[in-house]
Structure 1
């Protein structure tokens, strides 16, 4: 009976993995907008499995590895597949055109960045800066890419013309995942502003994703958290070096 407590958090992780697989399915079948929403659904579940595992005292090595695999599918492979979805032609069945062959490399850069980020996270035993992630979290990276795609569709932007910005974003975000930047973990509330910023925007994020509304704000949250978090991380790192 004691082992049953491990079941709920692992089921949440498997559900997140399922959402990631569905996102890949939609992306590769010419429906990148639906795929982007499913990536954001996975973002909603990302912290729930870990929080529930801690609450039930059901943390395990298997849970950690399972969570990383689910994250790689939902926030690594699925966002990379969004690019293929945008190039997909439902009439001809073609998944790419000769004009954009080079852009496929940007998806690989992003996916490689994600898998390296997750692998490093699993083997690091001691945080170099307590309370902070080193490198952009894969969850946030996937959310930013999905948000960009949703905003483009919401404003009827020709995605053929947006391939260059999307490709550049994939490369930049991919490198940020393995970069030495520090981003505060959720709950790291050293200042009143950061506490307010986290709590209010998490509530807004869950509401808007649930309603599938205002992708502009969803993208803004991801980018604003990145820049604000990097600033706070750099500030904290400087403080520690002075002590």
Structure 2
């Protein structure tokens, strides 16, 4: 019976992801973010449960990537599409999948946001074939990238900063962020994983410091802290790689 627990958690991730897709398509970003957070929560604990119960399987690995493709691949692509649609002057009907007698009526610029979905799929496929990524990640994990993208509408909704809002609702910023997101997902940068083999501080100093800084940033900056946390994650990983080579 215990072998089904991790897969059940993975399916809960997928379930949350599909609900998030529905909310994102309808521009209910807060609700979409809530279900993405739940999905990522289940995504973290399915692997944890599999290791603790010693029931890892190839089926679980493949199922996990399929669930991540929805929660952390399709959802951020849709959100970026919707944000880019907000930056261009187009008829309201053009932001939806409305057919006409000549075919689909879609704005072209916002479709750039869906490159995040394509890059996520490519990353997940590579991850399944890479046996080295057990203690670290090569490139930004899709859940971390999703948190980065989904933080944008949350910042717009809750931070109440005209300056920050003007940056986010700028098509060039969003296009640049989309390109950066696609690059980071499939880059060769080694990033530490939040997997604890033991609870000792010496072996996990980077992880403990990162978690403490994340908590402080979230308390002070709220949702605006998320992009900074992703930047901190990358910076600390690069520094950790450099210090490891010098030892």
Structure 1 portions without partners, runs of 5+: none
Following superposition, the deviation at residue 39 of structure 1 comes to 1.9
TM-score, normalising length from structure 2? 0.78
Contact kept? 1:39, 1:79, Cα under 8 Å: no
Of the candidates 158, 176, 184, which is equivalent to residue 154 of structure 1? Answer: 158
Is the counterpart of residue 102 in structure 1 residue 112 in structure 2?
A: no
Deviates more, 1:23-32 or 1:47-56: 23-32
In structure 2, the partner of 1:62 is 59
**Aligned to 1:58, what secondary structure does the other structure show?**
coil
Between the aligned partners of 1:64 and 1:99, the Cα distance in structure 2 is 36
Structure 1 residues 63-101: Cα deviation after superposition (integer angstroms, max 9, x where no partner)? 100000111111111000002333379x944317x9963
Instruction: Evaluate the alpha carbon distance shift between residue 23 and residue 85 of structure 1 in structure 2; reply closer, same or farther with a 3 A threshold.
Output: farther
Is the counterpart of residue 220 in structure 1 residue 219 in structure 2?
A: no
**Aligned to 2:16, what secondary structure does the other structure show?**
helix
In structure 1, the partner of 2:7 is 10
In structure 2, the partner of 1:111 is 117
Contact kept? 2:76, 2:149, Cα under 8 Å: yes
Contact kept? 2:152, 2:168, Cα under 8 Å: no
**What is the total number of aligned residue pairs between the two structures?**
226
Instruction: Evaluate the alpha carbon distance shift between residue 192 and residue 84 of structure 1 in structure 2; reply closer, same or farther with a 3 A threshold.
Output: closer
Contact kept? 2:80, 2:149, Cα under 8 Å: no
Instruction: Evaluate the alpha carbon distance shift between residue 231 and residue 152 of structure 1 in structure 2; reply closer, same or farther with a 3 A threshold.
Output: farther
Instruction: Evaluate the alpha carbon distance shift between residue 39 and residue 11 of structure 1 in structure 2; reply closer, same or farther with a 3 A threshold.
Output: same
Structure 2 portions without partners, runs of 5+: 97-104
Of the candidates 75, 78, 85, which is equivalent to residue 75 of structure 2? Answer: 78
Following superposition, the deviation at residue 204 of structure 1 comes to 7.5
Is the counterpart of residue 125 in structure 1 residue 113 in structure 2?
A: no
Deviates more, 1:191-200 or 1:26-35: 191-200
Aligned-pair RMSD on alpha carbons? Answer: 3.2
Instruction: Evaluate the alpha carbon distance shift between residue 103 and residue 84 of structure 1 in structure 2; reply closer, same or farther with a 3 A threshold.
Output: closer
